[in-house]
Amino acid sequence: MAEKDTNWLELYQPYRRRFEIGFWVLVLAMQVVFNSIVTWIDIGRSARDVAFWQPLVWELSSNLAVGLLIPAIVAFDRRHPLHWDTLPRNLGWHLAGSVAFCAAHVGLMVALRYPAYALMGHTYSFGNWPTQLAYEYLKDVRSYALILVAVYSYRLVLLRLQGEARVLDEAETAAGMPAAPPAPRPERFLVRKLRKEFLIAAADIEWLQAQGNYLGLHVNGHDYLLRATLTDFLEQLDPARFARVHRSYAVNLDRVAEIEPMDAGDARLRMKDGTQVPCSRRYRDALGR
C-alpha cells in the first residue's frame, strides 16, 4: 500500500535547503552578538585598552570562517560517517578532520582580520602562533563536535519523519509459517514511519541515491531510507530494470522519460515524476541496453 496523506515534511522539502542555511546563519549570528557582548563586559571589568569595534571584528571573522567551513564538515562526514559499525574506522579520520578544520578556521579568520584592521587604521597581530593555535584548537575541536551533533540530530529527526525501509523478510509475510529461503531479489519493502508500517514494491522505486551509510529510495513522490550501499543493493535488483547512472545514483529504466545530453559526454535524466537525475559519461552505455 502507498501512503497518500500529504504531511508537513512534503511541504518542507522544497524549502529544506533554505531552512538549513538559515538555521546556521541564525546560530552564527547569535554567537557573534552574545560573544561580543561577553567580551565587551570582560574588557570593561579588566580596563584593557581595546577599541569597541575589535571584539565585533573578532567574532564576525571567526563565525564567518566557521560558516564557510560547515559544508566541508558535512561533506567530510558523509564520506566518513560516524555510526556504531564505522566508529573505530572513522573516528581517527574525524580527529584529523578537526585539526584540518582548526587550521582552515584560523587561516580564514586571520585573513579576514588583516583587512578589517587596516580599514580601521590599525595593524592586526595574531600573537605567538604555536600558543595561539593550541588555544584555538581547544575551542575548535569543541565547535567541530557540536556541529556534528547538530547535523546528526537533524538527520535523526528527518529519518524518523521520513521513514526507514528494509527488505521484507519472508518470515513476516506469513505468521506462524516456517521461513523460506530468502528470495534472490526483494519484491517489496517494509517501511516504518511515525509508528506506522506499510509496504512499497521494488517495481515502484523510481530512482535511488547513495546517502552515506543509507540509500534513498524515491517512490511515488516519497523518500525512504534503506540501510545499504548503492553497489550492494543494486546486486539484489533486476538488472534489466535498474541501472547505475552515476557514482551516487541509479534509476528504474522504465521511469526515465527523457535523456538530455550535456558537455563532456554527461547527461541529465528527466524522470516521469518530473525530477532530474545526473548521468555521468562512464555509465551512459547502461541506458542503451
Give the chain's domains with CATH numbers. 8-162 (no CATH), 165-288 (2.40.50.1020)
* Region for 181 from its dihedrals, namely left if φ exceeds 0, alpha if ψ lies in -120 to 50, beta otherwise: beta
pLDDT means over runs of 10, the chain (289 residues): 50 82 96 94 87 96 97 90 82 96 97 96 94 96 96 83 63 45 65 72 90 82 82 87 92 93 87 90 75
245: amino acid identity, one letter? V
The span from the CA of 98 to the CA of 90, in Å, is: 12
The string over 1-26, giving b where at least 16 C-beta atoms fall within 10 Å of a residue's C-beta and e elsewhere, is eebeeeeebeeeeeeeeeeeeeebee
- pTM assigned to the model: 0.66
pLDDT computed for residue 140 by the predictor: 97
